Amino acid sequence: MKILLIGSGGREHALARGLLADPIVEELHCAPGNPGIGEIATLHKIDISNNQEIVSLAEELQVDFVVIGPELPLVNGVADALRAAGFPTFGPSKAAAQIEGSKNFAKEVMNDAGVPTARSATCATRQEIERALDLFGAPYVVKDDGLAGGKGVVVTQDRDEALAHALSCNKVVIEEFLDGPEVSLFGISDGKTVIAMQPAQDFKRAYDNDKGPNTGGMGAYSPLPWAPSDIIEQTHREVLAPVIAEMAARGTPFVGLLYAGLSLTDHGIRVIEFNARFGDPETQVLIPRLITPLATLLYKAATRDLYGVELQWREDSAVSVVLAAKGYPSAPEFGGAITDIPTIADVEMYHAGTASSDSSLVSNGGRVMTVTGLGPNLTEARNRAYRGISHIALNGSFYRTDIALNASIAEMGN
Ligand SMILES: Nc1ncnc2c1ncn2[C@@H]1O[C@H](COP(=O)(O)OP(=O)(O)O)[C@@H](O)[C@H]1O
Ligand SMILES: [Mg+2]
């Protein structure tokens, strides 16, 4: 099978390795990719915000299958364009990707499907906004309806700040604050059947102890020894299956990866948000743990053939730590030389924001690398990830030192 993978982050590097580990794959192409992916796949420099460029590349290469990594092309409708041109595609249609592209749409789907989520109000006027803020009270949760690259949500005790953010949005969702640990749980769907993956937890704030600004994600780990033992079954039953059924009933089946961001509250699971694609950096801990051949799995989803498939997982734990460029997330510095990417057993080095310059490697994004350690438990996986990342030299770069720390301490106490 000849596959085209769209994207260029650490998530896509992990997907690329996963796809190539499946013997069904004969050729892997990636657009635009990054130098790490370029070591294992053929790269194509195209503009992935342009649907026609992606379709033309798929036609030129005569690929059998296309896998879409990031949300932007999905929300732009690239999956519709690819399917119309005859390519099996892993990734939802433009209509189905609205579950990520519009917070209000996601709320409507959840309400219609009876899926537990924070109570909310979608507001257009100042009067509606003020009424909703006072109804739900502090901490205030204010969400820009549209895609905002991780900058659309403000959670604050400060009513003035909440109001100011709400007024800056075109359409805004204001909701009840959910108190509980956050879990990411992904479902792979062919539009009818959905298969839940294992849960992961990610770390959104830039600095240790959850301090600093929100980011795209600074690290992740899986499995979650502290999570309820039935979390996969419960999330499948209460969240993933009803949403997939609702999307099908609306005539806009969801084919691809349904990412459920959950809060485990005292009153049970609540959905914080959905994404329409694999999460980054959760993918970098899930894919190395997955035994089930990835290309076959995603192809079955794309061709409506998932019924009866079960996932197999390694017993190993995985911990990923993101190396960020100086100034990330507000003003990351690009162009710094990256040296000393080591090869270590049970450590995966995933490129994200890297580029080649005069045959050397330089930083080219806020999140530069993701280093995943694998081991028989979180403590060993964590040690390997940190040993790996400590070798990488990039001026001014930083990483969190507390990824999976509490879970590792709790695990050692057991
Ligand atoms: N209802 C809520 N209660 C508490 N925290 C929330 C709530 N909604 C969002 N958050 C916090 O804000 C973060 C970002 O919100 P999310 O809906 O995931 O938006 P996005 O990922 O599009 O920025 C979440 O990961 C969570 O930490
Ligand atoms: Mg989120």
pLDDT tens for the chain, residues 1 to 414: 999 999 999 999 999 999 999 999 999 999 999 999 999 999 999 999 999 999 999 999 999 999 999 999 999 999 999 999 999 999 999 999 999 999 999 999 999 999 999 999 999 999 999 999 999 999 999 999 999 888 899 999 999 999 999 999 999 999 999 999 999 999 999 999 999 999 999 999 999 999 999 999 999 999 999 999 999 999 999 999 999 999 999 999 999 999 999 999 999 999 999 999 999 999 999 999 999 999 999 999 999 999 999 999 999 999 999 999 999 999 999 999 999 899 999 999 999 999 998 889 999 999 999 999 999 999 999 999 999 999 999 999 999 999 999 999 999 886
* CA 272 to ligand 1 centroid distance, Å: 6
Tokens encoding 18: 């996963």
Assign domain 121-175 to its CATH superfamily.
ATP-grasp fold, A domain (3.30.1490.20)
Q: Which residues contact 271 (CB under 8 A, 6 or more apart)?
A: 110, 115, 116, 117, 239, 260, 261, 262, 263
Candidate from 119, 122, 153 with most ligand 1 atoms within 8 A of CB, to mutate: 153
The minimum-distance atom of ligand 1 relative to the CA of 270 is: 1
Candidate from 273, 275, 277, 278 with most ligand 1 atoms within 8 A of CB, to mutate: 273
* CA 282 to ligand 2 centroid distance, Å: 12
Ranges of each domain in the chain: 2-93, 121-175, 180-302, 317-413
* CA 274 to ligand 2 centroid distance, Å: 8
Cβ contact 286:197 at 8 Å: yes
Q: Is the dihedral of CA 394, 217, 373, 34 positive or negative?
A: negative
* CA 324 to ligand 2 centroid distance, Å: 19
Give Rg (Cα) of the chain.
Answer: 21
* CA 149 to ligand 2 centroid distance, Å: 9
Predicted structure pTM score: 0.97
**Which protein residue has the closest C-alpha to ligand 1 atom 16?**
273
List the CATH code of the domain at 180-302.
3.30.470.20
Sort 340 into a burial class: Cβ within 10 Å, 0-12 / 13-18 / 19+: exposed
Please name the CATH architecture into which domain 2-93 falls: 3-Layer(aba) Sandwich (3.40)
Lining ligand 1 with CB less than 6 A are: 118, 141, 143, 150, 152-153, 155, 175, 177-178, 182, 204, 261, 272-273
Alpha carbon separation from 189 to 110, 154, 215 (Å, rounded): 17, 31, 27
Class of domain 317-413: alpha beta
User: Percent of the chain, pLDDT > 70?
Assistant: 100
